[in-house]
């Protein structure tokens, strides 16, 4: 909340006249600073529904600078406890032209987009919510908020209340002393009304927010809970009737947030399981690769010894031809034959050993490969389950993100929620 500059009674001592002049305090009002003769302007571009809205506002600089002057912000003691000064800041007559400019342009948007009264209220609320949030330790007139293009909860709520009441809505200011917060109240006939307000639902002005949504959280994580002061600033009669849709949206948002959190934890657990299974598959693949290498080595050894045995047979055939041709003696033949036969037997034995090794490796490979295939099938099933979990989570995340990022698109969000997957 802001500092209060109090003026109960201004006592001016005019010593030269030897008397006292007592000036009783007046309501806060803008005193134009006529030293400024030009105009000041501000342009706003903000989203609404599926389009972008542009507003342009121009005000006399004398009014803006007069509003900024502290002399326009002194509060009479009698109005501090009743909070009537909020109405004075909202309804200063020098701001009427500014209100008219804004409402004329937004009324044109209402006609172009064929907006309902509820949607027009949402348009005005979105405009004020789009104004940059920044706080200063003093009360500010709406004209200051518009030209400076920033404001805090008080500033923006005062501005929105002024716009809504002039557009014919039954709107009030809600002042939460315990939370040091201000918001706008809009009359509604459903259960979305904030307790102890006489049937007014909350419009949060500090950021984009759904009408009636009071789940706004402060920096410490707390939210609105106290009974606010209800400050009347106008005499509009139109109410907000789409609260039931907002309830559906917010219920889905909260359930989706819980489900997304649960699916996220499940996904994390399944990711750990998949990581372990992938490590096991890698071990299988390493062992299979090692067995394959051993089989290749055994085959290579078998082929080498078989080739050597074949070469011995060739040598034996030549030896027989030499004997028949008389090129070698019987004794030499016998000696050479025994040597070749011994080598032949050795190579055959080694070739047989290599073949037996290959057969053993192959049998082990086949058994291990069957285990690998079964484990891979289990991994694939687990991955499919994990992918299903992630897909479900992403579907809910997409809708959740739409809900929290586009409160200015209520009807579209509502229809999306109605056709969304059921939350289990």
pLDDT tens digits along 216-272? 888 888 899 999 999 999 999 999 999 999 999 999 999 999 999 999 999 999 999
Does residue 1 lie within any of the structural domains? no
Domain finish residue from 200, 217, 241: 241
Which domain range does residue 317 map to? Answer: 251-418
For residue 1, what pLDDT is reported?
Answer: 60
For residue 16, what pLDDT is reported?
Answer: 35
Dist CA 115 CA 98 (whole Å) = 23
Q: Which two tokens stand for residue 17?
A: 């006249």
Pair 123, 79 in one domain? yes
Dist CA 242 CA 136 (whole Å) = 34
**Among 224, 237, 214, CA closest to 168:** 237
Question: Helices in 186-329 by DSSP H: which ranges?
Answer: 243-324
For residue 222, what pLDDT is reported?
Answer: 87
Number of structural domains found in the chain: 2
Does residue 77 lie within any of the structural domains? yes
Does residue 4 lie within any of the structural domains? no
Q: By the 8 A CB rule, do 193 and 129 touch? A: no
Does residue 423 lie within any of the structural domains? no
Pair 268, 146 in one domain? no
Does residue 2 lie within any of the structural domains? no
Coil, helix or strand at residue 397:
helix
Q: By the 8 A CB rule, do 397 and 260 touch? A: yes
Pair 319, 220 in one domain? no
Dist CA 371 CA 287 (whole Å) = 12
Task: List 47's β-bridge partners, or say none.
Answer: 52
Dist CA 81 CA 309 (whole Å) = 115
Q: By the 8 A CB rule, do 23 and 12 touch? A: yes
Domain finish residue from 241, 272, 306: 241
Pair 199, 321 in one domain? no
Pair 55, 95 in one domain? yes
Pair 319, 287 in one domain? yes
Pair 211, 311 in one domain? no
| DSSP assignment of 74-96 | -B-HHHHTTTTHHHHHHH-GGGH
Q: By the 8 A CB rule, do 59 and 84 touch? A: no
* pTM given for the model: 0.80
pLDDT tens for 349-372 read 999 999 999 999 999 999 999 999
> How far lies 23's CA from each of 6, 8, 11, 85, 295, in Å?
14, 9, 6, 19, 110
Does residue 335 lie within any of the structural domains? yes
Pair 237, 292 in one domain? no
For residue 219, what pLDDT is reported?
Answer: 83
For residue 48, what pLDDT is reported?
Answer: 98
Write out the H or E segment, with its range, that includes residue 395. helix 330-405
Question: Helices in 9-152 by DSSP H: which ranges?
Answer: 61-68, 77-80, 85-91, 96-113, 117-130, 142-148
CATH (domain of 284): 1.10.287.1700
For residue 79, what pLDDT is reported?
Answer: 57
**Among 3, 91, 102, 15, CA closest to 55:** 102
> How far lies 211's CA from each of 214, 246, 417, in Å?
9, 7, 17
Pair 45, 189 in one domain? yes
Does residue 316 lie within any of the structural domains? yes
pLDDT < 70 regions, the chain: 1-26, 76-82
> How far lies 412's CA from each of 51, 182, 212, in Å?
12, 29, 17
Task: State the CB neighbour count (10 A cutoff) for residue 35.
Answer: 9
Domain finish residue from 190, 223, 241: 241
For residue 108, what pLDDT is reported?
Answer: 98
**Among 187, 183, 224, CA closest to 206:** 183
Task: State the CB neighbour count (10 A cutoff) for residue 338.
Answer: 10
Coil, helix or strand at residue 409:
helix
Task: List 39's β-bridge partners, or say none.
Answer: 60
> How far lies 95's CA from each of 56, 58, 89, 130, 399, in Å?
15, 11, 9, 20, 41
For residue 11, what pLDDT is reported?
Answer: 31
For residue 398, what pLDDT is reported?
Answer: 95
Dist CA 411 CA 121 (whole Å) = 13
Pair 262, 233 in one domain? no
Write out the H or E segment, with its range, that includes residue 203. strand 200-203
Pair 232, 323 in one domain? no
Pair 261, 359 in one domain? yes
> How far lies 112's CA from each of 116, 119, 128, 129, 410, in Å?
11, 13, 20, 22, 18
């Amino acid at each position: 909340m802001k500092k209060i500059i109090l003026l109960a009674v201004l006592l001016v001592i005019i010593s030269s006249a030897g008397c006292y002049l007592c000036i009783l305090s007046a309501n806060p009002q803008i005193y134009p600073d006529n030293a400024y003769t030009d105009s000041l302007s501000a342009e706003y571009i903000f989203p609404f529904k599926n389009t972008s809205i542009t507003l342009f506002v121009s005000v006399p600089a004398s009014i803006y600078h007069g509003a900024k002057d502290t002399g326009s912000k002194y509060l009479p003691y009698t109005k501090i406890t009743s909070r009537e000064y909020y109405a004075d800041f909202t309804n200063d007559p020098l701001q009427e032209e500014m209100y008219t400019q804004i409402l004329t342009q937004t009324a044109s948007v209402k006609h172009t987009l064929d907006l309902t009264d509820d949607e027009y209220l949402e348009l005005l609320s979105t405009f004020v919510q789009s104004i940059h949030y920044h706080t200063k330790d003093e009360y500010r007139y709406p004209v200051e908020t518009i030209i400076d293009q920033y404001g805090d909860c008080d500033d923006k709520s005062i501005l929105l209340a002024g716009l809504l009441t002039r557009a014919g809505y039954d709107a009030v200011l809600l002042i939460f002393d315990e939370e040091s917060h201000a918001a706008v109240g809009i009359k509604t006939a459903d259960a979305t009304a904030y307790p102890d307000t006489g049937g007014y639902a909350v419009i949060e002005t500090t950021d984009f927010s759904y009408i009636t949504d009071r789940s706004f959280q402060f920096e410490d994580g707390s939210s609105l809970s106290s009974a606010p002061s209800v400050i009347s600033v106008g005499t509009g009669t139109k109410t907000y009737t789409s609260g039931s849709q907002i309830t559906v949206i917010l219920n889905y948002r909260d359930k989706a947030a819980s489900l997304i959190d649960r699916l996220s934890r499940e996904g994390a657990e399944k990711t750990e399981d998949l990581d372990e299974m992938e490590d096991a598959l890698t071990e299988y693949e390493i062992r299979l690769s090692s067995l394959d290498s051993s089989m290749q080595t055994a085959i290579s050894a078998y082929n080498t010894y078989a080739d050597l045995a074949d070469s011995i047979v060739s040598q034996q055939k030549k030896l027989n031809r030499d004997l028949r041709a008389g090129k070698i003696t019987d004794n030499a033949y016998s000696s050479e034959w025994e040597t070749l036969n011994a080598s032949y037997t050795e190579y055959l034995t080694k070739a047989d050993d290599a073949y037996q090794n290959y057969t053993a490796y192959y049998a082990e490979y086949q058994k291990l490969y069957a285990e690998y295939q079964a484990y891979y099938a289990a991994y694939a099933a687990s991955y499919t389950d994990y992918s299903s979990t992630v897909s479900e989570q992403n579907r809910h995340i997409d809708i959740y993100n739409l809900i929290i990022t586009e409160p200015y698109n209520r009807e579209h969000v509502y229809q999306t929620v109605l056709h969304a997957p059921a939350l289990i």
